[in-house]
Amino acid sequence: MDSPWDDLTLAFSHTSMFPFFDIAHYLVSVMAMKRQPGAAELARQNPVSSWFTAMLHCFGGGILSCMLLAEPPLKFLTNHTNVLLASSIWYIIFFCPCDLVSQAYSYLPVQLLAAGMKEVTRTWKIVGGVTHANSYYRNGWIVMIAIGWARGAGGAIMTKFEQLVKGDWKPGSDEWLKMSYPSKLTLLGSIMFTFQHTEHLAVSKHNLMFFYTVFLVTTKITMMVTETSSVTLAPFEDTLSRVLFGWQKQFSWCEKKSETKPSSNGTGSSASKPTAGASESVKKKHAKKTG
Amino acid sequence: MELLSALSLGELALSFSRVPLFPVFDLSYFIVSLLYLKYEPGAVELSRRHPAASWLCAMLHCFGSYILADLLLGEPVIDYFSNSASVLLASAVWYLTFFCPLDLFYKCVSFLPIKLVFVAMKEVVRVRKIAVGIHHAHHHYHHGWFIMIATGWVKGSGVALMTNFEQLLRGIWKPETNEILHMSFPSKASLYGAVLFTLQQTRWLPMSRATLIFLFTMFMVSCKVFLTATHSHGSPFDVLEGYVCPVLFGTGWASDHHHDNHGSPHSGGPGPQHCPAAKSKEELGEGSRKKKTKKAD
């Protein structure tokens, strides 16, 4: 690999997130919060609660990772500059005269720019989380993956939890269980950076950061422009789930046959049978539906 | 002669308390925990549609006790996940339980005699966890009795205490029911066990730790195996509670409890006749902790 390329990626990996990329992140997060029904009225009636929600949207990932590592969850408040920055962005978005910021934001190129810059901060957060977890647990690669993921995509979980506590939202819908597309990508990135950190992946860190960021930004922008959700990963995921979790569907006809013959599993536990039988029939139904 | 037998019992208990838990006993703990997860309504469907959520649920079932104890003692919640071998073992068991071809693994494991062996081994792990938890809490707080009891209880009852949260992961949110309101036999037994081990740790109980582990394990194994074999959901404490609680909490409670007892399809209470020796030891801790339990009930 020639040296100008290396220089470029190295310089890129040393870019400071602080003023511009952080602003973009806060802007996108708070705008996403404002899109929720009732958020604007809430800000008029109860600014404190609205501010708190905005902080959760902006710093949720950090809070979640602090909770997982038994650090004070309010640690983000010690970073005065960032909190002030996020607060001022919250203020101008909700209380700007004539709603100027929202109107400017609804212009597509601005949105694309802000979203692209937000994805850049995601890479930095994942790397930060993985390194931080590694300082606690030398060989705990599961912990490293989890912390990297929590930093990168934990904000969504925190905000859902906050809505649950406020009573705005009931889990029952599938949305909670389905991992959103960004969190899947974050998980993938977290795994890659962890393996890079434990030197199982023979790529230098700045190169990986560069390529991952480019990947994130391009997929995000493609998704926004074409207005689709989950493009890239769907075929890959399909194959993977068929390989890993598809065993029973292939064998389901076998099971059906064995079911017709009684006592195929001998003197199985009779008390566990009602529940086990119920779950089995549910499963069979599902297998039939899909198979 | 008597000395000799006492010595051999002590030695037996000591060597029993030093058996390493990791591969075999932990494996059976995971198997039984995940079996119970599979019995939950909707769990199988969930594993088909959202494997990630199902895996997380499985991890909670396997490591819930460590997570809760770490949370209470202010240590990193994901501390135990640095233990990669255990996590991989639990993940493998989860995979086999839910996705094995022909459901073979599940059918083998839920075959009653095999299941009983696993259940017995699970109780060994439970008692050991209680003992370790109390030792750990003692290390942090030398005179914190309640902290020791709470840590031991949490370690023993595991995921049962965070049922609400675990259900939330599966997309069910029922805040009106929880484990504290309807304590199951393992939770109660863990509570009483935690009291006993705390008494031992603070030297109020003239008994070595190894002996206590041995005796309490015997009690738990025999009770749990009996309960599983007879498919009863009652608990051996029901009878005793029926006597003690009216005295402590008045008549209103008694009638309530009676109704509860007769309402359940399986009459509980085969335990006391089953293992009277361990029972008398139970009573020691019972009086002091009864109050807390009943308040919770």
The average pLDDT across B53-71 equals 91
pLDDT tens per residue across span B134-177: 999 999 998 888 999 999 999 999 888 888 888 888 877 777 77
Distances (CA, A) of B49 to A30, A233, A242, A246: 31, 16, 12, 11
Tokens of A210: 């560069």
pLDDT number for residue A287: 40
Whether residue B199 has pLDDT greater than 80: yes
Cβ distance B284 to B199 under 8 Å?
yes
Are B271 and B235 within 8 A, CB to CB? yes
Given pLDDT bands bounded at 50, 70 and 90, which one contains residue B95?
very high
Q: Is the pLDDT of residue B260 over 50?
A: no
pLDDT for B278? 40
Residue A262 token pair: 């009684």
Contact A269 B41 (CB under 8 A): no
- Looking up tokens 């109660």, which residue turns up? B188
Task: Evaluate whether residue B65 is within a structural domain.
Answer: yes
Instruction: Tell me what pLDDT residue A173 has.
Output: 53
Closest CA–CA distance from residue B157 to any residue of chain A (Å):
21
Q: What is the pLDDT of residues A150-179, one digit of tens each?
A: 998 888 888 888 877 777 666 655 555 677
CA distance B193 to chain A (A): 27
**Residue B68 falls within a domain, yes or no?**
yes
Nearest CA in chain A to B112: A269
A interface test, pick of B78, B91, B174, B231 with most A CB neighbours within 10 Å: B78
Q: Average of pLDDT values for A214-222?
A: 89
Q: Tell whether the model's pLDDT for residue B2 goes beyond 60.
A: no
Q: Is residue B269 part of a domain?
A: no
Q: Chain B: give the shortest CA distance to residue A277, in Å.
A: 9
Nearest to B282 by CA among B227, B241, B248, B251: B241
Written in H, E and C, the secondary structure of A12-72 is HHCCCCCCHHHHHHHHHHHHHHHHCCCHHHHHHHCHHHHHHHHHHHHHHHHHHHHHHCCCC
- pLDDT tens by residue, A42-52: 888 888 988 98
- The number of domains in chain B is 1
SS3 A171: strand
B chain contacts of residue A287, beta-carbon cutoff 8 Å: 48
CB contacts of A255 in chain B (<8 Å) are 102-103
More confident residue, A152 or B277: A152
Query: Over chain B, what is the mean pLDDT?
Result: 80
- Chain A residues lying within 8 Å of B41, measured CB to CB: 275, 278-279, 282
Residue B3: predicted pLDDT? 57
- How far is the alpha carbon of B207 from chain A, nearest alpha carbon, in Å? 36
- Contact between A279 and B38 using a beta-carbon 8 Å cutoff: yes
User: C-alpha B226: how far from its chain's center?
Assistant: 15
* Chain B nearest-CA residue for A245: B99
- Cβ pair A9, A206 in contact under 8 A: yes
B53: nearest CB among A140, A141, A177: A177
Quick check: is B281 in a domain? Answer: no
Interchain CB contacts (distance < 8 Å): A and B: 124
Q: Residue B5's pLDDT is what? A: 64
pLDDT beyond 70 at B259:
no
Q: Are B117 and A271 in contact (CB under 8 A)?
A: no
Asked if residues A54 and A30 have their Cβ atoms less than 8 Å apart, the reply is yes
Q: Is residue B13 included in any domain, yes or no?
A: no
Instruction: Give the pLDDT score at A177.
Output: 66
Residues B231/B266, Cβ–Cβ less than 8 Å: yes
Specify if B176 maps to a domain: yes
HEC-encoded secondary structure of chain B: CHHHHHHHHHHHHHHHCCCCCHHHHHHHHHHHHHHHHHHCCCHHHHHHHCHHHHHHHHHHHHHHHHHHHHHHHCCCCCHHHHCHHHHHHHHHHHHHHHHCHHHHHHHHHCCHHHHHHHHHHHHHHHHHHHHHHHHHHHHHCCCCHHHHHHHHHHHHHHHHHHHHHHHHHCCCCCCCCCCCCCCCHHHHHHHHHHHHHHHHHCCCCCCCHHHHHHHHHHHHHHHHHHHHHHCCCCCCHHHHHHHHHHHHHCHHHHHHHHHHHHHCCCCCCCHHHHCHHHHHHHHHHHHHHHHHHHHHC
Mean predicted confidence (pLDDT) in B51-64: 90
What is each CA distance from B226 to A40, A154, B161, B238, in whole angstroms? Answer: 60, 44, 23, 15
Cα B176 to Cα B6: distance, rounded to the nearest angstrom? 50
Confidence (pLDDT) at B66: 92
**Cβ A269–B112 below 8 Å, yes or no?**
yes
B203 vs chain A: nearest CA distance in angstroms?
32
Kindly report whether the global pTM for this prediction surpasses the value 0.90: no
Q: How distant is the Cα of B122 from the closest Cα of chain A, in angstroms?
A: 18
Per-residue model confidence (pLDDT) at position B279: 41
In angstroms, the CA B228 to CA B4 distance is 36
What is the C-alpha to C-alpha distance for residues A251 and A247, in angstroms, rounded to an integer?
6
Indicate whether A282 pLDDT > 70. no
Q: Averaged over A135-145, what is the pLDDT?
A: 88
CA nearest to A187 within chain B: B52
Residues 6+ apart with CB under 8 A from A268: A276, B107, B110, B111, B112
Residues from B contacting A (CB-CB < 8 Å) are 38-39, 41-53, 70, 74-78, 81-84, 87, 95, 99-103, 106-107, 110-112, 115, 168-173, 231
- CA-nearest residue of chain A to B45? A283
User: B38, B48, B96, B169: which to substitute to probe chain A, counting the most A Cβ within 10 Å?
Assistant: B48
Using the predicted structure, report yes or no on whether residue B78 has a pLDDT greater than 70.
yes
Q: Which chain B positions have a beta carbon within 8 Å of A244's beta carbon?
A: 51, 95, 99
Answer whether residue A71 shows pLDDT above 50.
yes
Q: Is the pLDDT of residue B270 over 80?
A: no
Helix, strand, or coil (residue A173): strand
Q: Which is higher by pLDDT, B3 or A55?
A: A55
- Give the per-residue pLDDT at B178: 77
Beta carbons of A245 and B103 less than 8 Å apart: no
Most B-contacting residue of A279, A280, A282, A289 (CB-CB within 10 A), to test interface? A279
Nearest to residue B78, comparing CAs of B62, B89, B66, B88?
A: B66
With 70 as the cut, is the pLDDT of residue A181 above it?
A: yes
> Which chain B residues touch A272 with a CB distance below 8 Å?
39, 110, 115, 231
Query: A204, A15, A192: which is closest to A121 by C-alpha?
Result: A15
B171/A247 CB distance under 8 A: no
A145 DSSP 8-state letter: H
Range of the domain at B38: 21-246
What is the number of other CB atoms lying within 10 angstroms of the CB of residue B206?
A: 7
Burial class of residue A245 in the structure, from the number of CB atoms within 10 Å of its CB (0-12 exposed, 13-18 middle, 19+ buried): middle
Nearest by CB to residue B110, choosing from A176, A254, A272, is A272
Q: Packing angle between helix B251-263 and helix B237-249, nearest 10 degrees?
A: 160
Lowest model confidence (mean pLDDT) among A5-19, A86-100, A121-135, A172-186: A172-186
Mean pLDDT rounded to a whole number for chain A: 78
Contact A272 B107 (CB under 8 A): no
Per-residue pLDDT at B154: 93
Question: How wide is the angle at C-alpha B241 spanned by C-alphas B240 and B243, nearest 5°?
Answer: 70
Task: Give percent of chain B above pLDDT 90.
Answer: 34
Residues of B whose CB is below 8 A from A164: 168, 173
Under an 8 A CB cutoff, do B171 and A174 touch? yes
- Cα separations (Å) of A84 from A52, A60, A233, A255, B136? 13, 16, 37, 62, 42
Could you give the CA distance from residue B171 to residue B184 in angstroms, rounded to a whole number? 23
pLDDT (0 to 100) of residue B64: 92
DSSP secondary-structure letter at A174?
Answer: G
- Those residues whose C-beta lies under 8 Å from the C-beta of residue B39, and which sit 6 or more positions away, are A272, A275, A276, A279
Q: Residue B231 is which amino acid?
A: H
Q: Say how far apart CA B61 and CA B58 lie, in whole Å.
A: 5
More confident residue, B162 or A254: B162
CA B52 and chain centroid, separation: 26
10 Å Cβ neighbour count for A65?
Answer: 26
